[in-house]
Amino acid sequence: MTKSFNIGWLTLALTLAVAASSMAMRERMPLPGLLNSVQGHVTLGAHSVSVTPGSTPNRVLRTHEVLATQHGNAEVLLTPGAFLRLGHHSAARMVSQSLEDSQVRLIRGKALLRADSVFKHTLSVVMDGAITRIDQKGLYGFNARRETIGVLQGKATIYKGGSRFIVKKGHELALSKGQPLYNQKLSKQAFESGQLFRWSRLRDRYESRARQSVQQAIAQSGRWQGRGWYWSPFWGFYTYLPSEGMYFSPYYYPYGWDNWGWGGWGGWDDDDD
């Protein structure tokens, strides 16, 4: 009985500690550019970077700095609810770090932008002279080598050379130099077959679990501070919490609130790869 009693109190203490830590980190909302996850060989400027598991991320991609990967991947937080993920042998420069106009330039390689929340005219990506404004929640792919901008889910407005294009779900815009820009159907199989897509899907699985732990702590403590980034002490990175409702990520992992509690999370398989 005593042993069971002590374990119960220990579990309660850990739960309260997680809640308190989560709320404390929420009060310091990270600005666009924070490196939320790093895997493999990644450099920020001239220095190699890493994110120590369990520690609060503190490396930030500042305006005009370049984040580059060799055989590695990196996840950068942009506006609340938007993740930029770089593939192998890719590089990106932060153009604007403002919450009112967060803009990143893809210099080479591949990037995926996943947006759980979009505020009008606040989020854009520059590639090959084209500016892509993210208009809706969804998943967007940028390939500097193939010179394409794809929309797996969502909608984007792309500006280049005085022209304006609307690209919707299941389409991509080709930016080949010397060729007229054209909107074409996206090959979903090609989009989803790459290493970056698979790593991004794995990150989404971890994000979903991090949300569970933070939301459970909030539900038990009652200390809710509105939608935005929340620090997960157990998982060691920031995750995004919406204000209400239940949603699904582009990878079909659920996130959101179920009657202000922790529910509706059983819709995916741990063995999925």
What is the pTM assigned to this prediction?
0.81
Kindly state the average pLDDT of the residues 24-48: 82
- Taking only the tens place, the pLDDT of each residue in 65-93 is 999 999 999 999 999 999 999 999 999 99
Which helix (H) or strand (E) segment is 237 a member of?
strand 237-241
Q: Is residue 238 part of a domain?
A: no
pLDDT beyond 70 at 19: no
CATH of the domain at 178: 2.60.120.1440
Digit-coded pLDDT (tens) for 227-264:
889 988 888 899 998 876 666 666 666 666 554 444 43
In this prediction, residue 268 carries a pLDDT of 33
Q: Does residue 246 sit within a domain?
A: no
> CA 166 → CA 6, 133, 152, distances in Å?
60, 10, 14
Task: Please name which of 19, 61, 31, 86 lies closest in space to residue 229, comparing C-alpha atoms.
Answer: 31
Domain-embedded: residue 139: yes
Q: Report the percentage of the chain scoring pLDDT > 70.
A: 75
Q: Could you tell me the pLDDT band of residue 273, with boundaries at 50, 70 and 90?
A: very low
Total count of domains within the chain: 1
The number of helix segments (H) and strand segments (E) in the chain equals 3, 19
Does any domain span residue 5?
Answer: no
87: nearest Cα among 123, 112, 61: 112
Axis crossing angle, helix 2-26 with helix 195-221, rounded to the nearest 10:
110
* Domain annotation covers residue 105: yes
Residue 181 lies in a domain: yes
Residue 25 domain-assigned? Answer: no
Residue 267 lies in a domain: no
Residue 120 is part of which domain span?
35-194
Interior angle at CA 132, CA 131 and CA 135, nearest 5: 145
